[in-house]
Amino acid sequence: MADEQASIALLLRDSPLHDSFRDESAFASQFESLQRRTTRAFKPAPSYHLTFSLFAGGSAPSSWDIETAAEQYINPLLQALSSISDFTVDTQVQLHASISPAIAGPTFDTPTITWTLLASDLSGFVNAAEWPLSPGIGSGSTINLILYVPHPRQTPLTLSGGGNSWIIPQWGGVQILNPASNTTSHLSAAHIEPVMLTFADQLMSLLGVPDSPPSLSLRIAALQRERTTSLILSASSTLGALVRLTRKLQSIAIPKTVAHSVELTISHLEQACTALSEGDYAAALTSAKVAEAEAEKAFFEPSMVGQVYFPEEHKFAVYVPLLGPMGVPLVMTLIKEARGLVGRRKGKVKVG
Amino acid sequence: MHLSALLSLPASLAFLTFTLASASPHSYTEHLHLLPLPQSHLHAHFNFTATTPLSAYESSHFRYFPRSLAQILQHTRTKELHLRFTTGRWDDEAWGARPLDGTREGGTGVELWAWVDGEGSTTVAKERWSELVNSLSGLFCASLNFIDSTKTVRPVRTFEPEGHHGNAKGGLQLLHGMLPHEVVCTENLTPFLKLLPCKGKAGISTLLDGHKLFDATWQSMAIDVRPVCEGKAGEECVLEIQQSVSMALSIPRSMRERHDPIPRPARIEDVECDESKPWNGHDTCFPKALTGEPAWTLSKVFGHAAKGACDLERDDQAFDVTLEVPSDRPVNATGASELTFPSTTRRHYRLSASSSFDLSLPAHSTPLGQNSPPSPPLYATRQIAGHGQERGSMHTTLRNPHAHPLTLVYMETLPWYQRPYMHTLRLANGKQEKMYYTPALDRKRGTHLELVLTIPAESTATLTYDFEKAVLRYTEYPPDANRGFDVAPAVIRILANNESPQFAGSYVRTTSLLLSLPTPDFSMPYNVIILTSTVIALGFGSLFNLLTRSFVLAEEVPPSPLAGVVRRMRDLVKGLLGKNGDVAKDEESSEVKDGKTAEISRYMREETKGKANGIANGDADLRDRRARGSP
């Protein structure tokens, strides 16, 4: 309860509602750990695409029982989280995945007879140039969960600080699996059960689910309320940005669809706030999601972005070659005459 | 009718059907076919085939099928896709029939055709097609996004779906687009290799190197995705992706080392002189034409040997490399096991994961008549005739060398700025059965022309029509406007005929053409601005100065600071230069000058004084005159 109050205080800290919230100083001590949780998590999006990838350093293993394992361990979690966002799952297998040449790479550690990966290499481990991890088509963010099986020449592979998995903030998570034998070409569901449990854990942190009450449903309810708050804030700030843009660029024409979206956003924001005050959190979340979607649609309207309007520099560039040769003698003569006039007046004053 | 056309494919596809028959769900096979061609060329055909069951495809669980391409196909509801990247020219006369009868190659540049589920509406299909070309353009680093409505057509008879679509076939719409101006190079090969499971790191895909591939005389990369339903009870349909690279390379050119690509003439001792020439002597040598086969090594031709093997769920009888040479030619193969088959012209090798594979063939002299390749169904060439920048005419020559008549579909897509006149369409020596024609709309769509022709045995048909060239708006010209615009190649498909069933389903494509349109002088906007500014400056400026300038005596002009600076600089320079003796002369001349100016100024001063006095004493003057008496 206190954690939730602290996290909402953190969200409201940078918004104009800052002053009306009381007792903020009480939560200042928890802000740092909460900040870490929010920077790790993805921004709220209407849908998430989960991609489970098996990257093998060599030519094996070339298949895994991901369908049954995902069905068993991940799908129940996704169903519980369905009120927050939509989820799609796809999987792939990639062979001969070489480690990025930008990092130092695993070094052989003779006392423990293992290959170790330095902590500084973890951020650059994902070889974005060669590994096909293109984001999905369509709206929504992609969460990449990678299982890496090292090359037979580099097994067993561990991290220098211990453990075998890490999270890349706002991108996904990586896990290293050292298979029992070097020649297995298929990873059975039993084999990857611990892998799936770690993936579920990583998924929860990446979605920003708070970790304090031990009950999952309470945590998800807390996440719902946090999401509602952040969606309301984001929708209102998008609307404000749109208004400021309209005021700055006077010559942009606003299409009717944008006006309609803005109306919808405002009405849904009002509904969300009333629902929150009544305690109907599920309705508040739905209204807030609609408000955010409409605000984004209004702001990124393609016909508005591509408007033809003449910037001032263009006008200057076109007219100066034509009016310059005329204007310059006029201006020079004007200056001379003015000087002469001043001189004559001074002379008259002196004489007179 | 279509299935029978498919089944009557020529025997050269036999090895392909071998791999297709074993298409179990989630399979992957790769194969390399090497065939020496006449005139020291080598044809290499790489084929990579992966399949995935349709249920796994729909639930997005991928193993060997590339996920990035599958996402694009799912999102745009594309059921069958054929994409081609081609450069170079296949020499019909020397090398004979095209590999796989032209079914795995495209026209120069990029060619794309796909069957899209449009849900009964052409606008929906068009939107999905435009999404498809934009996504493919990002995936393959090619500017496929230029295939817009001006370059897209819907062919009627030229293409048939190769996959088994079942009941859904009626709702699919075929769209076709070509980009003849697209340059194909290494940046298109890299994403192609990334789609393979072994990624160019193991197996025959290690031989694909950008330097050697794009140095070939002709090369074509193809991606074909289609659903395959074997029809066996209990087995579901699979989605198959076939990636193939076909190249015809010149052996002496490819064997040159990478660090020394300059061709050098052979030493005179190594050159064989043709002694039948009348001028043959000790100091004049006409080199004899090379007959026979040159020596070549696989690692030298492709740059390095094939490393390892990509063996994923392969059965024991599968082979990776086939070399098609006569049985009397000696071949040395290292690092692979040779499989024995009853065929005498083909040798099959199976790569092993732990060693690298190399083939070397020593030079060989072939007896005459053994090396004539199979003749193609048709020889087709196309040119633009005429002169001037207003009009021209298209001229196509179709030669049928066989002893039976041929029925074919001739499809052309012309850009909208090339306006053909269909009433001038003439066909000599052939018969036109049917014509499908969609006229062009300026800046909206191009001309689509499909003709069903019959060409009698052993004759040459000529197809001509006139066209007119349009003048474009000045923003529509490309940066190198005087190069001209590319016209897409014509696609010819041989139809099944009662007398010639063996050529049905073959494709022949002509070359692309360069159309020079009238180009304006692009420097004119600059010229106009400069001229206008000059005229205004000179005319207005001079007139304005004449009107407003007041003329004063030289000494009344306040000395401008600039003149003072100039005078000081001049004196300084004179002082530095005149130190050696010219001082007196200068002083004299300057004295004289000064004297003159002093005189003049004294005179002027007196005058003005007089004048001023006159003005001041004007009354006195008048009084004097009055006193003297008015005259």
CA of B334 to nearest chain A CA: how many angstroms apart?
22
Tokens representing B105 are 């190659």
Our count of domains for chain B comes to 2
Residue in the structure block whose two tokens are 């009009």 = B391
* Other beta carbons within 10 Å of B27: 20
Q: Is B365 on the interface with A (CB under 8 A)?
A: no
Contact between B162 and B80 (Cβ < 8 Å): yes
ipTM of the complex: 0.82
| Same domain as A160, residue A26 | no
Pairing of strands B459-469, B391-400: antiparallel
* CA separation for the pair B511, B90 (Å, rounded): 10
Q: Is B141 on the interface with A (CB under 8 A)?
A: no
Q: Which of B56, B197, B533 sits opposite A321 (nearest CB)?
A: B533
Pick the range with the lowest mean pLDDT from A136-140, B322-326, B616-620. Answer: B616-620
Q: Which of B67, B536, B541 sits opposite A90 (nearest CB)?
A: B67
* CA separation for the pair B334, A248 (Å, rounded): 73
Quote the pLDDT of residue B629: 53
A346 in any annotated domain: no
Quote the pLDDT of residue B246: 96
- Measured between beta carbons, which residues in chain B are less than 8 angstroms from residue A322? 529, 532-533, 536
- Of the pLDDT bands very low, low, confident and very high (cuts 50, 70, 90), residue A135 is confident
Q: Which of A63, A329, A330 sits opposite B63 (nearest CB)?
A: A63
Interface test with B, best of A55, A66, A91 (most B CBs within 10 A): A91
| Same domain as A33, residue A162 | no
Q: Which of B312, B353, B541 sits opposite A62 (nearest CB)?
A: B312
**Contact assignment for A59 to B194 by CB distance below 8 Å:** no
pLDDT in tens, B514-549: 999 999 888 887 888 788 888 888 888 888 888 888
Q: Is residue B23 over pLDDT 50?
A: no
Q: What is the DSSP letter of B394?
A: E
Q: Where a domain ends, among B208, B230, B256?
A: B256
- Measured between beta carbons, which residues in chain A are less than 8 angstroms from residue B62? 90-93
Q: Which of B61, B72, B540 sits opposite A67 (nearest CB)?
A: B61
**Contact assignment for A132 to B66 by CB distance below 8 Å:** yes
* CA separation for the pair A142, A157 (Å, rounded): 27
Q: Alpha helices of B67-110 — where are they, by DSSP H?
A: 67-75, 92-95
Give the mean model confidence (pLDDT) for residues B378-392: 94
B274 in any annotated domain: no
Give the mean model confidence (pLDDT) for residues B324-337: 81
Q: Return the CATH number at B466.
A: 2.60.40.290
3-state secondary structure of A199: helix
Q: Is residue A243 over pLDDT 80?
A: yes
Quote the pLDDT of residue B466: 96
Query: Residue B57's closest chain A neighbor by CA?
Result: A90
A198 in any annotated domain: yes
pLDDT in tens, B488-517: 999 999 998 877 788 889 999 999 999 999
Maximum separation of any 2 CA atoms in chain B, in Å: 149
A350 in any annotated domain: no
Query: Residue B547's closest chain A neighbor by CA?
Result: A333
* Other beta carbons within 10 Å of B357: 26
Give the mean model confidence (pLDDT) for residues B212-237: 87
Interface test with A, best of B29, B55, B61, B241 (most A CBs within 10 A): B61
**Contact assignment for A137 to B135 by CB distance below 8 Å:** yes
Residues in chain B: 631
| Same domain as A247, residue A202 | no
| Ordered DSSP codes for B556-613 | GSPPPHHHHHHHHHHHHHHHHHTTSSTHHHHHHHHHHHHHHHHHHHHHHHHHHHHHHH
Amino acid in the structure at residue B386? G
A220 in any annotated domain: yes
| Same domain as A299, residue A178 | no
pLDDT in tens, B580-592: 555 545 554 555 5
Quote the pLDDT of residue B211: 86
Q: What does the CA dihedral A263, A266, A271, A274 come to, rounded to 10 degrees?
A: -150
Q: Is residue B31 over pLDDT 80?
A: yes
| Same domain as A194, residue A83 | yes
Q: Is residue B3 over pLDDT 50?
A: no
Which distant-in-sequence residues (6+ apart) come within 8 Å of B192 by Cβ? B140, B221, B223, B243, B245
- Measured between beta carbons, which residues in chain B are less than 8 angstroms from residue A88? 60
| Same domain as A83, residue A16 | no
3-state secondary structure of B472: coil
CA of B348 to nearest chain A CA: how many angstroms apart?
24
Supply the range of the domain harboring residue A15. 1-41
B341 in any annotated domain: no
Query: Residue B67's closest chain A neighbor by CA?
Result: A92
Q: Which of A90, A132, A322 sits opposite B194 (nearest CB)?
A: A132
A349 in any annotated domain: no
Quote the pLDDT of residue B18: 37
| Same domain as A49, residue A177 | yes
A255 in any annotated domain: yes
Q: Which of A63, A94, A329 sits opposite B545 (nearest CB)?
A: A329
How distant, in Å, are the alpha carbons of A236, A239, A262, B168 from that of A296? 11, 9, 10, 37
Q: Is B68 on the interface with A (CB under 8 A)?
A: yes
Q: Which of A91, A325, A333 sits opposite B533 (nearest CB)?
A: A325
Q: Is B529 on the interface with A (CB under 8 A)?
A: yes
Which H helix or E strand runs over A261? helix A256-278
pTM of the model: 0.81
Q: Is B26 on the interface with A (CB under 8 A)?
A: yes
* Residues 159-198 (B) with a CB less than 8 A from some CB of A: 194, 197-198
Q: Where a domain ends, among B217, B241, B256?
A: B256
Per the model's pLDDT, the better-predicted residue between B344 and A337 turns out to be: A337
Quote the pLDDT of residue A309: 59
Supply the range of the domain harboring residue B42. 27-256
Q: Where a domain ends, among B493, B522, B551?
A: B522
Give the mean model confidence (pLDDT) for residues B229-251: 87
pLDDT in tens, A83-103: 888 999 999 999 998 888 888
| Same domain as A108, residue A188 | yes
- Measured between beta carbons, which residues in chain A are less than 8 angstroms from residue B48? none
Tell me the CA end-to-end span of chain A in Å, nearest whole number: 92
Q: Is B136 on the interface with A (CB under 8 A)?
A: no
- Measured between beta carbons, which residues in chain A are less than 8 angstroms from residue B66? 132
Quote the percentage of chain B above a pLDDT of 70: 86
* CA separation for the pair A126, B106 (Å, rounded): 37
**Contact assignment for A325 to B202 by CB distance below 8 Å:** no
Which distant-in-sequence residues (6+ apart) come within 8 Å of B161 by Cβ? B80, B115, B169, B172, B174, B226
Interface test with B, best of A49, A98, A131, A137 (most B CBs within 10 A): A137
**Contact assignment for B532 to A322 by CB distance below 8 Å:** yes
CA of A143 to nearest chain B CA: how many angstroms apart?
15
pLDDT in tens, B75-95: 999 999 999 999 999 999 989
Which candidate, A309, A305, A301, places its Cα nearest to that of A258? A301
| Same domain as A125, residue A62 | yes
Interface test with B, best of A49, A52, A62, A89 (most B CBs within 10 A): A62
Q: Where a domain ends, among A206, A230, A250?
A: A206
Q: Where a domain ends, among A292, A308, A324?
A: A308
Our count of domains for chain A comes to 3
Burial class (CB in 10 A: 0-12, 13-18, 19+), B102: buried
A50 in any annotated domain: yes
Q: What is the mean pLDDT of chain B?
A: 84
**Contact assignment for B66 to A326 by CB distance below 8 Å:** no
- The backbone torsions φ and ψ at residue A258, rounded to the nearest 5 degrees and listed phi first, read -65, -40
